[in-house]
Structure 1
Amino acid sequence: MRQATASTLLIGVLLVAGCGAGPRHAASTTAPSVTAPPATTTPTSTGTAFNPTDIAWLQLTVAMTERLLPVLDLVPARTTDPAWRQTAAQVATARRADLDRARRLLADAAAPTTNPHEGHDMPGMVTPPEMTALRATSGQSFHRLLAGHLRAHLAQSVRIATAEQQSGSQRETIALAAAVVRNGTADLAGLDELDRPPGTQPATGHRE
Structure 2
Amino acid sequence: MRGIPVRATGCLLLAALLLVSACTSGSPTGPAASTATTAVPSTATTVAPAPVGSASPSGSAGLFSATDIAWLQLTVAMNERLLPVLDLVPSRTTDPEWLTFAARLGTAHRANLSTARRLLAASGAPATNPHEGHDMPGMVTAEELAALRSSTGVAFERRADQHVRAHLDQAIRIATAEQRVGTHPATTALASAVVRTGNTDLAGLGRLDRP
More helix by share: 2
Instruction: Answer whether TM exceeds 0.5 for this pair.
Output: yes
- Aligned residue runs from structure 1 range 40-59, under 5 A: 48-59=62-73
Q: Give the corresponding residue for 2:151.
A: 137
Q: Does the CA-based 8 Å contact 1:47-1:169 persist in structure 2?
A: no
SS of 2:124's equivalent in the other structure is coil
Counterpart CA distance in 1 for 2:108 and 2:192 is 13
| Relative contact order, higher structure (CA 8 A, sep 6+) | 1
Counterpart CA distance in 2 for 1:94 and 1:141 is 25
Q: Does the CA-based 8 Å contact 2:148-2:160 persist in structure 1?
A: yes
Are the structure 2 counterparts of residues 17 and 79 from structure 1 closer, same or farther at C-alpha, using a change threshold of 3 Å? farther
Q: Counterpart of 2:16 in structure 1: which amino acid?
A: G
Consecutive unaligned residues of structure 1, counting only runs of 5 or more, are 25-43, 198-208
| 1:22 and 2:41 aligned | no
- Aligned residue runs from structure 1 range 164-179, under 5 A: 164-179=178-193
Consecutive unaligned residues of structure 2, counting only runs of 5 or more, are 1-6, 33-48, 50-59
Higher mean Cα deviation, 119-128 or 12-21? 12-21
Structure 1 residue 10: Cα displacement:
1.2
- Aligned residue runs from structure 1 range 62-101, under 5 A: 62-101=76-115
Q: Counterpart of 1:71 in structure 2: which amino acid?
A: V
Are the structure 2 counterparts of residues 136 and 196 from structure 1 closer, same or farther at C-alpha, using a change threshold of 3 Å? closer
Q: Give the corresponding residue for 2:38.
A: none
Q: Percent identity?
A: 61
Counterpart CA distance in 2 for 1:169 and 1:160 is 15
Structure 1 residue 5: Cα displacement:
4.0
Counterpart CA distance in 2 for 1:121 and 1:59 is 14
Q: Give the corresponding residue for 2:139.
A: 125
Q: Give the corresponding residue for 2:207.
A: 193
User: Between Structure 1 and Structure 2, how many residues are aligned?
Assistant: 175
SS of 1:58's equivalent in the other structure is helix
Counterpart CA distance in 1 for 2:117 and 2:159 is 29
| 1:11 and 2:19 aligned | no
Structure 1 residue 9: Cα displacement:
1.3
- Aligned residue runs from structure 1 range 150-161, under 5 A: 150-161=164-175
Counterpart CA distance in 2 for 1:17 and 1:118 is 24
